[in-house]
Each structure stands twice: as C-alpha cells, then as structure tokens.
Amino acid sequence: MTYSEEDIQAMIEDLKENPDDSTKWHLFGVALLSIGRYDEAENAFRHCMKIDKNNAFALGDLGGLYILKRKPKDAIKYLENSVRLMPENHEYWSALGIAYLQRNKYKDALKAFEKSLSIEPDHLDSIISLGLIY
C-alpha cells in the first residue's frame, strides 16, 4: 500500500488520541517505512514495542528495516524474536534468511528460506534467495 503525507498526518492525529495503541504505532511505522522515512519508522516501531514488547509485527518490520539499512546483526536480533513469537509468518522467515545472507551465514540462511517455503511453497523471494546460496 502507498501512503501519502495526508495519511501520515491523519495517523499522527489518531496517535495523539490513542497514544497507547501498539497496533496504531506499528501501522504508523509501516506507513513511514513505505515512504522512505526510515529513522521515523524505526522510532515508531520502537515506540510500539515499548507498549507491547512482544508485538511480532513490529519486531519483524523493524528487522526488515535493518536489512534495508544494512544492519544485519540488528535485523537478525529482531527477526529471530519475531519468528519465535509468530513461527508461521513466511515473510519474516524469508527476511531472516536475507539478514543471514548479509552476514554470510549461509547454513542459517538456508534453514530460514526452507522454513519460509515450508509455510508458503510459492514464495518467490524465498525461492530466488535460496538460489543465491547455491
């Protein structure tokens, strides 16, 4: 989904009224991430996790953000927690595999991509990434 500045402003107003809603903070982070405002997205995901430290979506999306920022060590930390809490999310398993690839941890990457594909056999990103290992 593509978000506009108007969407962001509406979310800010909504968060003023609902400052303790972790789901809204997560979605705010997703919106910011989608328009390339990475530092603000990171802050939103972290705020979400202050409210709900076990928000698997915020953990996973923060991990994905760290992949984009080329911080695979941080990405692995958050993505491992995300898949521990939500083991059936094939996208976070795939992202974890990418983070492992960035660290040259090929065996771990292989396991993560295989897990992703065991959940969603047609997940193209995992299929392509698996091919990079071989």
pLDDT beneath 70: ranges in the chain: none
Q: Which residues contact 39 (CB under 8 A, 6 or more apart)?
A: none
pLDDT at 132: 84
Contact indicator for 92, 86 with CB cutoff of 8 Å: yes
SS3 8: helix
d(CA 51, CA 86): 18
Helical H runs in 35-123?
38-51, 56-68, 72-85, 90-102, 106-119
What is the fold, at CATH topology level, of the domain defined by 72-134? 1.25.40
What is the model's pLDDT at position 133? Answer: 87
Taking residue 1's Cβ as centre, other Cβ atoms within 10 Å add up to 6
Instruction: Please tell me the predicted confidence (pLDDT) of residue 64.
Output: 98
Contact 38, 45 (CB under 8 A): no
Report domain extents, the chain: 1-53, 72-134
pTM for the full predicted model: 0.93
| pLDDT of 105 | 97
pLDDT number for residue 7 = 96
